[in-house]
């Protein structure tokens, strides 16, 4: 039986690349999306056309009710969820003094509440089966912080804390929980940065380039594999040496 992976925020960037890598490795893939349903469905068609099993499950992960419905739909289609990849996220560059309470709450609602809701929805069945893998997406800014991204950095740091604590709690049930904290990756999320900023970021990276979504996807897929069965509660930061 194929293993089943649910990937939140799977319509583009790292999420899309992760869906493609999992499908290539024989997993049944459920792609969550919120604002980009058309792009998610396009990816689903691509995976199916290439022999994969995939569905699109729209939901705002900040909503507990929508997440519960999403997980129900995945189980209805595939029977269970073996791997959860909490990738859904938003970003914003803004001075701390200009961040509104609404923007602060939305940042945490997507990154932290979303991770909480999704983990809470899939864990009872994983605990019952004493098997499962959860991979949460953070960022180097969750490790070291970023100027003009205080709310994003704080939310991503919270994801790291959640990962470590949850790994200790569900480890006895045979479930691993790990975190991937990418550096600067060449995705739509960073496409808003101007050329000078991107050039500067490349120069600050010892490998002298930005990372690719596929490189991050391969690490996520590794953490979901049997080869990573003894890895839990860890933060892996593929960042080209930007943070050492």
Active site residues: 152
> Which residues, at least 6 apart from 244, have a Cβ–Cβ distance to it below 8 Å?
none
- Phi (first) and psi of residue 126, to 5 degrees: -65, -40
Residue 2 CA: distances (Å) to CA of 74, 204, 208, 223: 14, 42, 39, 17
The number of CA neighbours under 13 Å toward the Cβ of 150 is 11
Distance in angstroms between the alpha carbons of the first and the last residue of the chain: 40
Pick the closest to residue 154 from 145, 162, 166 (CA basis). Answer: 145
């Amino acid at each position: 039986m194929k293993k089943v992976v649910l990937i939140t925020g799977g319509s583009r960037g790292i999420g899309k690349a992760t869906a493609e890598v999992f499908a290539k490795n024989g997993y049944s893939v459920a792609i969550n999306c919120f604002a980009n349903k058309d792009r998610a469905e396009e990816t689903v068609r691509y995976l199916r056309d290439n022999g994969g099993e995939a569905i699109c499950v729209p939901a705002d992960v900040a909503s507990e009710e929508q997440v519960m419905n999403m997980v129900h739909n995945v189980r209805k289609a595939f029977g269970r969820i073996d791997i959860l990849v909490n990738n859904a996220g938003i970003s914003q560059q803004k001075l701390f003094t200009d961040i509104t309470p609404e923007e602060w709450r939305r940042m945490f609602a997507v990154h932290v509440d979303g991770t909480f809701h999704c983990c809470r929805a899939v864990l009872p069945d994983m605990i019952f089966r004493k098997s499962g893998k959860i991979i949460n997406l953070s960022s180097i800014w969750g490790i070291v912080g970023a100027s003009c991204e205080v709310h994003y950095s704080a939310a991503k740091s919270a994801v790291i804390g959640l990962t470590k604590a949850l790994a200790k709690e569900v480890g006895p049930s045979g479930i691993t929980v790990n975190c991937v904290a990418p550096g600067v990756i060449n995705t739509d999320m960073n496409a808003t940065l101007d050329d000078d900023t991107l050039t500067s970021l490349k120069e600050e990276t010892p490998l002298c380039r930005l990372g690719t979504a596929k490189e991050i996807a391969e690490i996520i897929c590794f953490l979901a594999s049997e080869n990573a069965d003894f890895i839990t509660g860890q933060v892996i930061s593929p960042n080209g040496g930007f943070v050492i």
